[in-house]
Amino acid sequence: MTKRARIIYNPTAGREILKQKLVDIISVYEKAGYETSIFATTPEHNSALNEARRVSEDGFDLVVAAGGDGTINEIINGIAPLDKRPELAILPAGTTNDFARALKIPRDDLVESAKVVLKKNVLKMDIGKTINENSVKYFMNIAAGGSMTKLTYDVPSDLKTIFGYLAYLVKGAELLPQLRPVKMHLKYDNDQYDGKASMFFVAMTNSIAGFEQIVPDAELDDGKFTMIIVKTGNLVEILQLITKVLNGGKHVNDPRIIYKKTNKLEVSSEGKPLQINIDGEYGGDAPMTFINLKQHLGIFSNLDNDKKKINNGKNKEIEKVKEELAEKVNELPEK
């Protein structure tokens, strides 16, 4: 039988470059043996999610997620709950494209991104699942909570686009005085943390907002989250920790954080509701449970690529962020 593929794409992503390349992209999937059709998402709520679930239940063999990390997350939420799940391919057409970065998929040429399918290198990849009293959601990259995370909702979107998750915190440093450690209870594999923290997160991959040093030892299929708890709320110390991240992941042994591997995390808090960020968007409030679904989705990857080539062009940005951090550390008084 002929295999079927459905390209679900966000027509507003990537300055509409994706639409210009669709004919060439479809040709690639046809060459790979897929009878290929397309679906353009609409402003309707859960448009990509509903289409991904529909074609999966209809027996399609491949779903191609074409857009930014938000579109990919929505498509994964349509596929992940099903007993029978199609394979997934990624066409990165967003601004940061963390998920594609982690899989070493080309991010500057969508036709080359499509050609990853020709290598037939399917990775059985872990997917995160979140559960609270109101909903069940899935994520492919990161879930986080705390006052430091809450700042991400207040920073203008253009700064997020230009500077990434950590860098725009530096550019939006006027918001940092809002940091207040939150009393949290975090229960994870054979251990727990009770105390104040400005942020916690669980990561699936090594790429968060374009930076690969935050989780330097991440594995994509080991059934484990990387959990980081940032205990300090001191402005100078926060900036020092970010500097350690950018200097080769030297934060992992810093006593101001907890860095652990776990396949499950239960989170609750005291006082004001603790908002949870899931793959960059608000995903509900704690108490919440995070479960790692080991090797849950088959995703086409390009992990045999030369890392140096994949990372070209990023070093200058990192050096610029380091300079900004040094300036901010000098400006802020010790407490």
What CATH number is given to the structural domain containing 46?
Answer: 3.40.50.10330
Rounded to whole angstroms, how far apart are CA atoms 278 and 160?
16
- What mean pLDDT do residues 26-36 have? 97
The confidence score (pLDDT) of residue 81 equals: 98
Clarify whether 319 is annotated catalytic: no
The answer to whether position 66 is within a domain reads yes
| Domains in the chain, number | 2
Its pTM stands at 0.83
What CATH number is given to the structural domain containing 174?
Answer: 2.60.200.40
The answer to whether position 62 is within a domain reads yes
Rounded to whole angstroms, how far apart are CA atoms 331 and 335?
13
CA 179 to chain centroid: 23
Does residue 198 contact residue 233 with C-beta atoms inside 8 Å? yes
Does residue 297 contact residue 76 with C-beta atoms inside 8 Å? yes
Helix segments in 17-171, DSSP class H = 17-31, 47-57, 69-79, 98-102, 110-114, 147-150, 157-171
Partners of residue 142 on adjacent β-strands = 203
The confidence score (pLDDT) of residue 302 equals: 93
Q: What domain range includes position 95? A: 3-120
**Of the candidates 59, 85, 120, which is a domain's last residue?**
120
Pick the catalytic residue from 35, 219, 266, 281: 281
Q: 108 and 65 in one domain?
A: yes
The answer to whether position 129 is within a domain reads no
How is residue 201 written in tokens?
């997160």
The confidence score (pLDDT) of residue 154 equals: 53
Per the listing, tokens 């992503």 go with 13
Strands 281-285 and 182-188: unpaired
- CA dihedral in degrees (323, 329, 332, 335; nearest 10)? 170
The answer to whether position 127 is within a domain reads no
- 70 or 60: which leads in pLDDT: 60
CA 274 to chain centroid: 20
Question: Is 90 exceeded by the pLDDT of residue 301?
Answer: yes
The answer to whether position 301 is within a domain reads no
How is residue 152 written in tokens?
């991400």
Q: How far is CA 29 from CA 8, 36, 269, 284, in A?
A: 13, 7, 47, 37
Q: Which residues contact 143 (CB under 8 A, 6 or more apart)?
A: 128, 130, 201, 202, 276, 277, 278, 279, 283, 290
**Of the candidates 77, 94, 120, which is a domain's last residue?**
120
Q: For 147-191, how does the pLDDT look when each residue is reduced to its tens digit (9 = 90+)?
A: 656 545 554 554 444 444 454 445 445 555 566 788 999 999 989
The confidence score (pLDDT) of residue 207 equals: 63
Does residue 175 contact residue 159 with C-beta atoms inside 8 Å? no
Segment among 7-21, 68-82, 122-136 with least mean pLDDT: 7-21
